[in-house]
Structure 1
Amino acid sequence: MSPSALSFEQLQPCSPQALRQNIAAGRYQGHTSGLGQGRVQANIVILPGDWANEFLRFCTLNRQACPVLDVSEPGDPFLRNLGVAIDIRHEVPRYRVFRHGELSEEPLDIEHLWQDDLVAFALGCSFSFEQPLLEAGIRLRHIDLGRNVAMFRTSIDTRPTARLSGKMVVTMRPMKAAAAIEAIQITGRMPNVHGAPIHIGDPALIGIRSLDAPDYGDAVPVEADEVPVFWACGVTPQSVVQASRPPLCITHAPGCMLVTDLWNSEL
Protein backbone atom coordinates (compact mmCIF):
# COMPACT_ATOMS: atom_id res chain seq x y z
CA MET A 1 0.00 0.00 0.00
CA SER A 2 1.43 3.40 -0.97
CA PRO A 3 2.02 6.14 1.65
CA SER A 4 -0.85 8.16 0.17
CA ALA A 5 -3.33 5.27 0.34
CA LEU A 6 -6.63 5.94 2.09
CA SER A 7 -8.61 3.49 4.22
CA PHE A 8 -12.24 2.48 3.77
CA GLU A 9 -13.11 4.48 6.91
CA GLN A 10 -11.43 7.61 5.57
CA LEU A 11 -13.41 7.36 2.34
CA GLN A 12 -16.85 6.78 3.89
CA PRO A 13 -17.60 10.53 4.27
CA CYS A 14 -16.49 11.29 0.69
CA SER A 15 -18.86 12.50 -2.00
CA PRO A 16 -18.96 10.26 -5.08
CA GLN A 17 -16.88 12.80 -7.02
CA ALA A 18 -14.20 12.92 -4.32
CA LEU A 19 -14.27 9.13 -4.03
CA ARG A 20 -13.71 8.72 -7.78
CA GLN A 21 -10.89 11.27 -7.69
CA ASN A 22 -9.13 9.31 -4.94
CA ILE A 23 -9.62 6.06 -6.83
CA ALA A 24 -8.27 7.60 -10.05
CA ALA A 25 -5.22 8.82 -8.10
CA GLY A 26 -4.56 5.25 -6.92
CA ARG A 27 -5.31 5.95 -3.25
CA TYR A 28 -7.92 3.17 -2.89
CA GLN A 29 -8.09 -0.30 -4.44
CA GLY A 30 -10.71 -2.08 -2.32
CA HIS A 31 -14.42 -2.93 -2.44
CA THR A 32 -17.01 -0.15 -2.52
CA SER A 33 -19.87 -1.66 -0.49
CA GLY A 34 -20.90 1.06 1.98
CA LEU A 35 -19.15 3.89 0.12
CA GLY A 36 -20.64 6.71 -1.97
CA GLN A 37 -23.19 8.21 0.46
CA GLY A 38 -26.25 6.50 -0.98
CA ARG A 39 -25.30 6.82 -4.65
CA VAL A 40 -25.89 4.27 -7.39
CA GLN A 41 -23.02 1.84 -7.95
CA ALA A 42 -22.43 0.08 -11.25
CA ASN A 43 -20.84 -3.07 -12.64
CA ILE A 44 -18.68 -2.41 -15.68
CA VAL A 45 -18.32 -4.41 -18.90
CA ILE A 46 -16.22 -3.07 -21.80
CA LEU A 47 -16.21 -4.86 -25.16
CA PRO A 48 -15.06 -4.21 -28.75
CA GLY A 49 -17.72 -2.75 -31.02
CA ASP A 50 -18.36 -5.99 -32.92
CA TRP A 51 -19.47 -7.64 -29.65
CA ALA A 52 -21.26 -4.65 -28.10
CA ASN A 53 -24.63 -4.94 -29.85
CA GLU A 54 -24.82 -8.63 -29.06
CA PHE A 55 -23.97 -7.96 -25.42
CA LEU A 56 -26.75 -5.37 -25.26
CA ARG A 57 -29.16 -8.03 -26.55
CA PHE A 58 -27.80 -10.46 -23.97
CA CYS A 59 -28.54 -7.89 -21.25
CA THR A 60 -32.08 -7.47 -22.58
CA LEU A 61 -32.62 -11.24 -22.33
CA ASN A 62 -31.08 -11.40 -18.84
CA ARG A 63 -32.25 -8.15 -17.29
CA GLN A 64 -32.33 -9.37 -13.69
CA ALA A 65 -28.62 -10.20 -13.78
CA CYS A 66 -27.62 -7.46 -16.26
CA PRO A 67 -29.79 -4.34 -15.87
CA VAL A 68 -28.31 -1.66 -18.14
CA LEU A 69 -27.89 1.82 -16.61
CA ASP A 70 -25.79 3.45 -19.34
CA VAL A 71 -23.84 2.67 -22.51
CA SER A 72 -20.99 4.77 -23.91
CA GLU A 73 -20.52 5.73 -27.53
CA PRO A 74 -17.87 3.62 -29.33
CA GLY A 75 -14.41 4.87 -28.42
CA ASP A 76 -15.75 7.39 -25.87
CA PRO A 77 -14.46 6.55 -22.35
CA PHE A 78 -16.99 8.81 -20.62
CA LEU A 79 -20.28 7.58 -19.14
CA ARG A 80 -22.17 10.83 -19.56
CA ASN A 81 -25.53 9.91 -18.03
CA LEU A 82 -24.24 8.78 -14.64
CA GLY A 83 -22.40 11.84 -13.35
CA VAL A 84 -19.86 14.57 -13.90
CA ALA A 85 -16.79 13.64 -15.96
CA ILE A 86 -16.89 9.88 -15.27
CA ASP A 87 -13.90 8.51 -17.15
CA ILE A 88 -14.24 4.74 -17.13
CA ARG A 89 -10.51 4.29 -17.76
CA HIS A 90 -9.54 5.50 -14.29
CA GLU A 91 -12.40 5.54 -11.79
CA VAL A 92 -12.88 1.89 -10.80
CA PRO A 93 -10.70 0.67 -7.89
CA ARG A 94 -9.51 -2.40 -9.79
CA TYR A 95 -10.23 -3.83 -13.23
CA ARG A 96 -10.08 -7.30 -14.77
CA VAL A 97 -8.88 -7.92 -18.33
CA PHE A 98 -10.02 -11.09 -20.11
CA ARG A 99 -8.44 -12.19 -23.39
CA HIS A 100 -10.26 -15.04 -25.13
CA GLY A 101 -11.93 -15.85 -21.82
CA GLU A 102 -8.73 -16.02 -19.77
CA LEU A 103 -7.99 -13.52 -17.01
CA SER A 104 -4.76 -11.83 -18.11
CA GLU A 105 -4.33 -8.95 -15.67
CA GLU A 106 -6.00 -6.92 -12.92
CA PRO A 107 -4.80 -3.33 -13.46
CA LEU A 108 -5.73 -0.21 -11.49
CA ASP A 109 -6.12 1.82 -14.69
CA ILE A 110 -7.00 0.86 -18.28
CA GLU A 111 -5.91 3.91 -20.28
CA HIS A 112 -3.14 1.83 -21.88
CA LEU A 113 -5.75 -0.66 -23.10
CA TRP A 114 -8.26 1.80 -24.53
CA GLN A 115 -9.19 1.40 -28.20
CA ASP A 116 -11.28 3.49 -30.56
CA ASP A 117 -13.94 0.78 -30.91
CA LEU A 118 -14.49 -0.05 -27.22
CA VAL A 119 -17.98 0.34 -25.75
CA ALA A 120 -18.51 0.59 -21.98
CA PHE A 121 -21.65 -0.74 -20.28
CA ALA A 122 -22.69 0.24 -16.75
CA LEU A 123 -24.96 -2.35 -15.15
CA GLY A 124 -26.99 -2.06 -11.96
CA CYS A 125 -25.38 -3.37 -8.76
CA SER A 126 -26.82 -4.89 -5.60
CA PHE A 127 -24.74 -2.49 -3.50
CA SER A 128 -27.35 0.11 -4.51
CA PHE A 129 -30.16 -1.69 -2.73
CA GLU A 130 -28.14 -2.12 0.45
CA GLN A 131 -28.86 1.46 1.52
CA PRO A 132 -32.66 1.03 1.67
CA LEU A 133 -32.18 -2.32 3.41
CA LEU A 134 -30.02 -0.66 6.07
CA GLU A 135 -32.50 2.20 6.40
CA ALA A 136 -35.22 -0.41 7.08
CA GLY A 137 -33.12 -1.79 9.95
CA ILE A 138 -31.94 -4.92 8.12
CA ARG A 139 -28.39 -5.74 9.16
CA LEU A 140 -25.95 -6.79 6.46
CA ARG A 141 -23.21 -8.94 7.92
CA HIS A 142 -20.59 -8.34 5.24
CA ILE A 143 -20.81 -4.61 5.98
CA ASP A 144 -20.70 -5.20 9.73
CA LEU A 145 -17.57 -7.32 9.23
CA GLY A 146 -15.98 -4.89 6.75
CA ARG A 147 -15.96 -7.56 4.02
CA ASN A 148 -16.86 -7.75 0.37
CA VAL A 149 -20.20 -9.47 -0.33
CA ALA A 150 -20.06 -13.22 -1.06
CA MET A 151 -20.64 -14.12 -4.72
CA PHE A 152 -21.22 -17.58 -6.20
CA ARG A 153 -21.38 -19.07 -9.68
CA THR A 154 -24.61 -21.12 -9.91
CA SER A 155 -25.99 -23.90 -12.08
CA ILE A 156 -28.61 -21.49 -13.49
CA ASP A 157 -28.20 -20.95 -17.23
CA THR A 158 -28.52 -17.45 -18.63
CA ARG A 159 -30.59 -16.94 -21.77
CA PRO A 160 -28.04 -17.13 -24.61
CA THR A 161 -27.41 -15.15 -27.75
CA ALA A 162 -25.48 -16.49 -30.76
CA ARG A 163 -22.07 -16.08 -29.11
CA LEU A 164 -22.79 -15.31 -25.44
CA SER A 165 -23.88 -17.86 -22.86
CA GLY A 166 -22.94 -19.03 -19.40
CA LYS A 167 -24.03 -19.46 -15.80
CA MET A 168 -25.61 -16.84 -13.56
CA VAL A 169 -23.65 -15.43 -10.62
CA VAL A 170 -25.44 -14.46 -7.41
CA THR A 171 -24.72 -12.49 -4.26
CA MET A 172 -25.64 -13.94 -0.87
CA ARG A 173 -26.73 -12.12 2.28
CA PRO A 174 -27.77 -14.06 5.41
CA MET A 175 -30.96 -12.88 7.11
CA LYS A 176 -33.56 -13.94 9.62
CA ALA A 177 -36.83 -14.99 8.00
CA ALA A 178 -38.74 -11.80 8.84
CA ALA A 179 -35.91 -9.64 7.48
CA ALA A 180 -35.78 -11.74 4.31
CA ILE A 181 -39.49 -11.13 3.69
CA GLU A 182 -38.99 -7.38 4.12
CA ALA A 183 -35.91 -7.48 1.86
CA ILE A 184 -37.98 -9.14 -0.89
CA GLN A 185 -40.51 -6.31 -0.70
CA ILE A 186 -37.85 -3.57 -0.76
CA THR A 187 -35.63 -4.95 -3.52
CA GLY A 188 -38.60 -6.03 -5.63
CA ARG A 189 -39.25 -2.32 -6.19
CA MET A 190 -35.72 -1.82 -7.63
CA PRO A 191 -35.51 -3.79 -10.91
CA ASN A 192 -32.64 -1.61 -12.17
CA VAL A 193 -30.41 -3.08 -9.47
CA HIS A 194 -31.39 -6.78 -9.76
CA GLY A 195 -34.83 -6.60 -8.12
CA ALA A 196 -36.10 -9.32 -5.77
CA PRO A 197 -34.03 -12.38 -4.79
CA ILE A 198 -33.91 -15.30 -7.20
CA HIS A 199 -33.54 -17.93 -4.45
CA ILE A 200 -33.84 -18.31 -0.68
CA GLY A 201 -32.62 -21.27 1.33
CA ASP A 202 -30.72 -24.41 0.31
CA PRO A 203 -27.76 -23.30 -1.85
CA ALA A 204 -27.40 -26.78 -3.35
CA LEU A 205 -30.64 -26.26 -5.27
CA ILE A 206 -28.86 -23.64 -7.42
CA GLY A 207 -25.59 -25.53 -7.68
CA ILE A 208 -23.64 -23.97 -4.80
CA ARG A 209 -21.65 -26.59 -2.90
CA SER A 210 -20.46 -24.55 0.08
CA LEU A 211 -21.24 -21.08 1.37
CA ASP A 212 -17.79 -21.09 2.99
CA ALA A 213 -16.07 -20.96 -0.42
CA PRO A 214 -17.45 -18.11 -2.58
CA ASP A 215 -16.22 -17.86 -6.16
CA TYR A 216 -15.78 -14.10 -5.71
CA GLY A 217 -15.74 -11.77 -2.71
CA ASP A 218 -15.46 -12.88 0.91
CA ALA A 219 -17.06 -15.68 2.90
CA VAL A 220 -19.82 -14.45 5.23
CA PRO A 221 -21.09 -16.72 8.04
CA VAL A 222 -24.74 -17.77 8.19
CA GLU A 223 -26.08 -18.23 11.72
CA ALA A 224 -28.36 -21.10 12.77
CA ASP A 225 -31.48 -18.89 12.87
CA GLU A 226 -30.84 -17.36 9.44
CA VAL A 227 -31.44 -18.27 5.81
CA PRO A 228 -29.16 -17.39 2.90
CA VAL A 229 -30.82 -14.99 0.46
CA PHE A 230 -29.53 -14.88 -3.12
CA TRP A 231 -29.80 -12.06 -5.67
CA ALA A 232 -28.76 -12.08 -9.33
CA CYS A 233 -25.36 -10.40 -9.65
CA GLY A 234 -23.67 -8.12 -12.16
CA VAL A 235 -20.58 -10.34 -12.07
CA THR A 236 -22.61 -12.71 -14.30
CA PRO A 237 -21.02 -11.20 -17.46
CA GLN A 238 -17.59 -12.28 -16.20
CA SER A 239 -18.83 -15.87 -16.00
CA VAL A 240 -20.30 -15.50 -19.49
CA VAL A 241 -17.08 -13.98 -20.88
CA GLN A 242 -15.04 -16.89 -19.55
CA ALA A 243 -17.43 -19.33 -21.23
CA SER A 244 -17.88 -17.38 -24.50
CA ARG A 245 -14.28 -16.17 -24.97
CA PRO A 246 -14.48 -12.83 -26.82
CA PRO A 247 -11.02 -11.59 -27.87
CA LEU A 248 -11.06 -8.80 -25.26
CA CYS A 249 -13.31 -7.88 -22.37
CA ILE A 250 -12.56 -5.48 -19.53
CA THR A 251 -14.65 -5.53 -16.34
CA HIS A 252 -14.51 -4.28 -12.76
CA ALA A 253 -12.95 -6.62 -10.22
CA PRO A 254 -15.80 -8.20 -8.19
CA GLY A 255 -16.96 -5.77 -5.51
CA CYS A 256 -14.86 -2.89 -6.89
CA MET A 257 -17.62 -0.86 -8.47
CA LEU A 258 -18.01 2.43 -10.27
CA VAL A 259 -19.70 4.85 -7.86
CA THR A 260 -21.93 7.26 -9.83
CA ASP A 261 -23.52 10.61 -8.96
CA LEU A 262 -27.09 9.24 -9.14
CA TRP A 263 -29.02 8.74 -5.91
CA ASN A 264 -30.22 5.22 -5.10
CA SER A 265 -33.64 6.75 -4.42
CA GLU A 266 -33.86 7.63 -8.14
CA LEU A 267 -34.06 3.90 -8.90
Structure 2
Amino acid sequence: MPDTHSPHAIRARIRNGEHSGNTSGLAPGFVQCNLVILPQAHAHDFLRFCQANPRPCPLIAMNPSPGDPTLPALGDIDIRRDVPRYRVFESGRAGDDTADIQSLWREDLVVFALGCSFSFEEALLADGLDVRNVSEGVNVPMYRTNTPCTPAGPFSGNMVVSMRPFLAADAIRAIQICTRFPSVHGAPVHLGDPSAIGIGDLSRPDFGDSVSVKQREMPVFWACGVTPQVALENARLPFAITHSPGCMLVTDMRNSQLAIL
Protein backbone atom coordinates (compact mmCIF):
# COMPACT_ATOMS: atom_id res chain seq x y z
CA MET A 1 0.00 0.00 0.00
CA PRO A 2 1.46 3.41 -0.96
CA ASP A 3 2.46 5.76 1.85
CA THR A 4 0.00 8.66 1.63
CA HIS A 5 1.37 10.40 4.72
CA SER A 6 5.02 10.93 3.74
CA PRO A 7 6.17 14.46 2.88
CA HIS A 8 6.81 13.37 -0.71
CA ALA A 9 3.28 11.98 -1.06
CA ILE A 10 1.74 15.11 0.47
CA ARG A 11 3.71 17.37 -1.87
CA ALA A 12 2.58 15.21 -4.80
CA ARG A 13 -1.06 15.71 -3.78
CA ILE A 14 -0.46 19.45 -3.50
CA ARG A 15 1.19 19.57 -6.96
CA ASN A 16 -1.79 17.69 -8.41
CA GLY A 17 -4.30 20.07 -6.84
CA GLU A 18 -5.64 17.40 -4.48
CA HIS A 19 -4.84 19.37 -1.31
CA SER A 20 -5.27 23.12 -1.04
CA GLY A 21 -5.99 23.63 2.67
CA ASN A 22 -3.93 24.11 5.82
CA THR A 23 -1.23 21.58 6.63
CA SER A 24 -1.49 21.36 10.43
CA GLY A 25 -1.14 17.72 11.50
CA LEU A 26 0.16 16.49 8.13
CA ALA A 27 3.39 14.46 7.80
CA PRO A 28 3.96 13.82 11.52
CA GLY A 29 7.64 13.94 12.37
CA PHE A 30 8.65 16.30 9.58
CA VAL A 31 9.42 20.02 9.50
CA GLN A 32 6.96 22.43 7.91
CA CYS A 33 8.12 25.86 6.77
CA ASN A 34 6.79 29.35 6.30
CA LEU A 35 7.77 30.89 3.00
CA VAL A 36 9.01 34.26 1.75
CA ILE A 37 10.05 34.79 -1.87
CA LEU A 38 11.34 38.17 -3.01
CA PRO A 39 13.67 39.77 -5.55
CA GLN A 40 17.42 39.48 -5.03
CA ALA A 41 17.68 43.26 -4.66
CA HIS A 42 15.88 43.02 -1.29
CA ALA A 43 17.17 39.62 -0.13
CA HIS A 44 20.10 40.91 1.94
CA ASP A 45 17.88 43.26 3.94
CA PHE A 46 15.34 40.51 4.54
CA LEU A 47 18.11 38.17 5.68
CA ARG A 48 19.19 40.84 8.17
CA PHE A 49 15.56 41.12 9.33
CA CYS A 50 15.49 37.36 10.00
CA GLN A 51 18.81 37.50 11.85
CA ALA A 52 17.57 40.39 13.99
CA ASN A 53 14.25 38.66 14.78
CA PRO A 54 14.99 34.94 15.14
CA ARG A 55 11.89 34.13 17.23
CA PRO A 56 9.29 35.00 14.56
CA CYS A 57 11.67 34.47 11.59
CA PRO A 58 13.86 31.39 12.25
CA LEU A 59 15.65 30.72 8.98
CA ILE A 60 15.81 27.03 7.99
CA ALA A 61 16.99 27.15 4.35
CA MET A 62 17.39 29.25 1.19
CA ASN A 63 17.45 28.30 -2.47
CA PRO A 64 20.99 27.60 -3.82
CA SER A 65 20.97 30.67 -6.08
CA PRO A 66 18.51 33.34 -7.26
CA GLY A 67 15.97 31.95 -9.68
CA ASP A 68 16.49 28.34 -8.56
CA PRO A 69 13.07 26.94 -7.50
CA THR A 70 14.57 24.03 -5.56
CA LEU A 71 15.43 23.61 -1.88
CA PRO A 72 17.69 20.54 -1.91
CA ALA A 73 18.41 20.80 1.82
CA LEU A 74 14.71 20.16 2.49
CA GLY A 75 13.81 17.55 -0.12
CA ASP A 76 12.82 17.09 -3.76
CA ILE A 77 10.99 20.41 -3.84
CA ASP A 78 9.72 22.70 -6.57
CA ILE A 79 8.80 25.79 -4.59
CA ARG A 80 6.59 27.00 -7.45
CA ARG A 81 4.11 24.15 -6.96
CA ASP A 82 4.64 22.50 -3.58
CA VAL A 83 2.73 24.86 -1.27
CA PRO A 84 -1.08 24.49 -1.03
CA ARG A 85 -1.75 28.20 -1.43
CA TYR A 86 0.49 31.19 -2.04
CA ARG A 87 -0.12 34.86 -1.29
CA VAL A 88 1.17 37.43 -3.79
CA PHE A 89 2.10 40.93 -2.59
CA GLU A 90 2.27 43.98 -4.84
CA SER A 91 3.39 47.29 -3.32
CA GLY A 92 2.69 45.86 0.14
CA ARG A 93 -0.84 44.76 -0.66
CA ALA A 94 -1.79 41.09 -0.50
CA GLY A 95 -3.74 39.96 -3.53
CA ASP A 96 -5.80 36.82 -4.03
CA ASP A 97 -4.27 33.50 -3.01
CA THR A 98 -3.16 31.13 -5.76
CA ALA A 99 -2.26 27.44 -5.91
CA ASP A 100 0.59 27.81 -8.43
CA ILE A 101 3.22 30.48 -9.01
CA GLN A 102 4.96 29.05 -12.09
CA SER A 103 3.67 31.89 -14.27
CA LEU A 104 5.00 34.43 -11.75
CA TRP A 105 8.46 32.92 -11.40
CA ARG A 106 11.48 35.12 -12.14
CA GLU A 107 15.21 34.54 -12.45
CA ASP A 108 16.01 36.99 -9.63
CA LEU A 109 13.83 35.43 -6.93
CA VAL A 110 15.33 34.35 -3.60
CA VAL A 111 13.49 31.82 -1.41
CA PHE A 112 13.52 31.89 2.39
CA ALA A 113 12.11 28.85 4.25
CA LEU A 114 11.38 29.72 7.87
CA GLY A 115 10.55 27.48 10.82
CA CYS A 116 6.89 26.84 11.67
CA SER A 117 5.12 26.11 14.95
CA PHE A 118 3.40 23.08 13.37
CA SER A 119 6.70 21.27 13.98
CA PHE A 120 6.66 21.69 17.77
CA GLU A 121 2.98 20.73 17.91
CA GLU A 122 4.06 17.13 17.38
CA ALA A 123 6.19 17.27 20.53
CA LEU A 124 3.30 18.74 22.50
CA LEU A 125 0.94 16.01 21.28
CA ALA A 126 3.50 13.31 22.06
CA ASP A 127 3.57 14.54 25.66
CA GLY A 128 -0.20 14.14 25.89
CA LEU A 129 -1.12 17.83 25.62
CA ASP A 130 -4.27 18.89 23.81
CA VAL A 131 -3.26 21.13 20.90
CA ARG A 132 -6.63 22.72 20.33
CA ASN A 133 -6.36 23.59 16.64
CA VAL A 134 -5.38 19.98 15.92
CA SER A 135 -8.11 18.41 18.09
CA GLU A 136 -10.72 20.74 16.59
CA GLY A 137 -9.45 20.24 13.05
CA VAL A 138 -8.93 23.91 12.21
CA ASN A 139 -6.09 26.27 11.35
CA VAL A 140 -4.22 27.73 14.32
CA PRO A 141 -5.43 31.21 15.36
CA MET A 142 -2.91 34.00 14.67
CA TYR A 143 -3.00 37.61 15.87
CA ARG A 144 -1.26 40.89 15.17
CA THR A 145 0.35 42.32 18.33
CA ASN A 146 1.84 45.59 19.55
CA THR A 147 5.27 43.96 20.03
CA PRO A 148 7.73 45.61 17.63
CA CYS A 149 10.31 43.69 15.63
CA THR A 150 13.81 45.03 15.06
CA PRO A 151 13.78 46.75 11.65
CA ALA A 152 16.24 46.04 8.82
CA GLY A 153 16.27 48.10 5.66
CA PRO A 154 12.67 48.54 4.48
CA PHE A 155 11.43 45.66 6.67
CA SER A 156 9.70 46.52 9.95
CA GLY A 157 6.49 45.91 11.85
CA ASN A 158 4.96 44.25 14.88
CA MET A 159 5.12 40.56 15.65
CA VAL A 160 2.34 38.14 14.74
CA VAL A 161 1.70 35.35 17.27
CA SER A 162 -0.08 32.02 17.20
CA MET A 163 -2.17 30.92 20.18
CA ARG A 164 -2.91 27.61 21.89
CA PRO A 165 -4.85 27.45 25.19
CA PHE A 166 -3.68 25.33 28.12
CA LEU A 167 -4.29 24.82 31.81
CA ALA A 168 -1.53 26.41 33.89
CA ALA A 169 0.34 23.15 34.53
CA ASP A 170 0.15 22.20 30.87
CA ALA A 171 1.34 25.67 29.86
CA ILE A 172 4.46 25.17 31.99
CA ARG A 173 5.06 21.81 30.31
CA ALA A 174 4.55 23.38 26.87
CA ILE A 175 7.19 26.00 27.67
CA GLN A 176 9.65 23.30 28.72
CA ILE A 177 9.03 21.30 25.54
CA CYS A 178 9.16 24.18 23.07
CA THR A 179 12.34 25.60 24.52
CA ARG A 180 14.05 22.62 22.85
CA PHE A 181 12.96 23.85 19.40
CA PRO A 182 14.43 27.34 18.83
CA SER A 183 14.47 26.75 15.04
CA VAL A 184 10.67 26.57 15.01
CA HIS A 185 9.93 29.60 17.24
CA GLY A 186 11.01 28.08 20.55
CA ALA A 187 9.32 28.95 23.85
CA PRO A 188 6.19 31.13 23.99
CA VAL A 189 6.61 34.90 23.98
CA HIS A 190 3.57 35.60 26.21
CA LEU A 191 0.88 33.85 28.21
CA GLY A 192 -2.21 35.14 29.90
CA ASP A 193 -3.85 38.53 29.29
CA PRO A 194 -4.08 39.05 25.49
CA SER A 195 -4.55 42.82 25.88
CA ALA A 196 -1.00 43.09 27.27
CA ILE A 197 0.29 42.44 23.74
CA GLY A 198 -2.43 44.37 21.96
CA ILE A 199 -4.95 41.61 21.21
CA GLY A 200 -8.51 42.77 21.76
CA ASP A 201 -10.63 39.69 21.04
CA LEU A 202 -9.39 36.10 21.02
CA SER A 203 -12.48 34.98 19.12
CA ARG A 204 -11.48 37.14 16.14
CA PRO A 205 -7.99 36.12 14.97
CA ASP A 206 -6.35 38.16 12.22
CA PHE A 207 -5.31 34.95 10.46
CA GLY A 208 -6.45 31.33 10.79
CA ASP A 209 -9.45 30.14 12.80
CA SER A 210 -10.69 30.67 16.33
CA VAL A 211 -10.54 27.79 18.82
CA SER A 212 -12.37 27.13 22.07
CA VAL A 213 -10.78 28.26 25.34
CA LYS A 214 -12.11 26.18 28.22
CA GLN A 215 -12.67 27.14 31.84
CA ARG A 216 -9.41 27.75 33.77
CA GLU A 217 -7.34 27.64 30.57
CA MET A 218 -5.02 30.50 29.65
CA PRO A 219 -4.01 31.54 26.15
CA VAL A 220 -0.36 30.85 25.34
CA PHE A 221 1.25 32.79 22.50
CA TRP A 222 4.18 31.87 20.27
CA ALA A 223 6.04 34.05 17.77
CA CYS A 224 4.62 33.26 14.34
CA GLY A 225 6.06 33.00 10.84
CA VAL A 226 3.30 35.19 9.44
CA THR A 227 5.28 38.12 10.91
CA PRO A 228 7.22 38.55 7.63
CA GLN A 229 3.93 39.23 5.86
CA VAL A 230 3.45 42.28 8.10
CA ALA A 231 7.02 43.31 7.28
CA LEU A 232 6.23 42.97 3.56
CA GLU A 233 3.15 45.15 3.97
CA ASN A 234 5.31 47.86 5.52
CA ALA A 235 8.21 47.46 3.05
CA ARG A 236 5.84 47.93 0.10
CA LEU A 237 8.05 46.03 -2.29
CA PRO A 238 6.79 45.99 -5.86
CA PHE A 239 6.57 42.19 -5.76
CA ALA A 240 6.88 39.36 -3.21
CA ILE A 241 5.29 35.98 -2.52
CA THR A 242 4.55 34.13 0.73
CA HIS A 243 2.56 31.08 1.76
CA SER A 244 -1.07 31.65 2.68
CA PRO A 245 -1.24 31.52 6.50
CA GLY A 246 -1.50 27.91 7.66
CA CYS A 247 -0.64 26.47 4.23
CA MET A 248 2.96 25.48 4.75
CA LEU A 249 5.76 23.83 2.82
CA VAL A 250 6.00 20.21 4.01
CA THR A 251 9.67 19.13 3.94
CA ASP A 252 11.70 15.95 4.26
CA MET A 253 13.63 17.32 7.24
CA ARG A 254 12.77 15.59 10.49
CA ASN A 255 11.67 17.58 13.52
CA SER A 256 14.22 15.66 15.57
CA GLN A 257 16.99 17.32 13.53
CA LEU A 258 15.96 20.68 15.00
CA ALA A 259 15.59 19.63 18.63
CA ILE A 260 18.15 20.61 21.27
CA LEU A 261 18.52 17.55 23.49
For residues 13 and 27 of structure 1, what CA distance do their matches in structure 2 show?
A: 12
Q: Which of residues 131, 135, 139 is equivalent to 1:148?
A: 139
Q: Which of residues 69, 78, 81 is equivalent to 1:77?
A: 69
Counterpart check, 1:208 vs 2:199: yes
Which one-letter code corresponds to 1:227 in the other structure? M
What TM-score results when the alignment is normalised by the length of structure 1?
Answer: 0.94
For 1:106, what is the secondary structure of its paired residue? Answer: strand
The aligned residue for residue 9 of structure 1 is none
Counterpart check, 1:17 vs 2:8: yes
Q: Which of residues 210, 219, 222 is equivalent to 1:231?
A: 222
For 1:104, what is the secondary structure of its paired residue? Answer: strand
For residues 212 and 246 of structure 2, what CA distance do their matches in structure 1 show?
A: 18
For residues 65 and 151 of structure 1, what CA distance do their matches in structure 2 show?
A: 12
The aligned residue for residue 169 of structure 1 is 160
For residues 27 and 162 of structure 1, what CA distance do their matches in structure 2 show?
A: 39
For 1:86, what is the secondary structure of its paired residue? Answer: coil
For residues 163 and 244 of structure 1, what CA distance do their matches in structure 2 show?
A: 5
Where does the alignment leave 5 or more consecutive residues of structure 1 unmatched? 1-11
Q: Number of residues paired by the alignment?
A: 255
**Structure 1 residue runs of 4+, over 6 Å off?**
none
* CA drift at 1:36: 0.9
Where does the alignment leave 5 or more consecutive residues of structure 2 unmatched? none
Map 1:39-118 to 2 at 5 A: 39-72=30-63, 73-83=65-75, 85-118=76-109
* CA drift at 1:228: 0.2
Which one-letter code corresponds to 1:37 in the other structure? P
Contact 1:13 1:37 in 2 (8 A): no
* CA drift at 1:141: 1.1
For residues 97 and 201 of structure 1, what CA distance do their matches in structure 2 show?
A: 34
For residues 59 and 244 of structure 2, what CA distance do their matches in structure 1 show?
A: 18
Which one-letter code corresponds to 2:228 in the other structure? P
Which one-letter code corresponds to 1:118 in the other structure? L
For 2:73, what is the secondary structure of its paired residue? Answer: coil
Which one-letter code corresponds to 2:43 in the other structure? A
Contact 2:4 2:10 in 1 (8 A): no
For residues 135 and 216 of structure 2, what CA distance do their matches in structure 1 show?
A: 18
* CA drift at 1:13: 4.8
RMSD (Å) for aligned C-alpha atoms = 0.9
For residues 25 and 128 of structure 2, what CA distance do their matches in structure 1 show?
A: 15
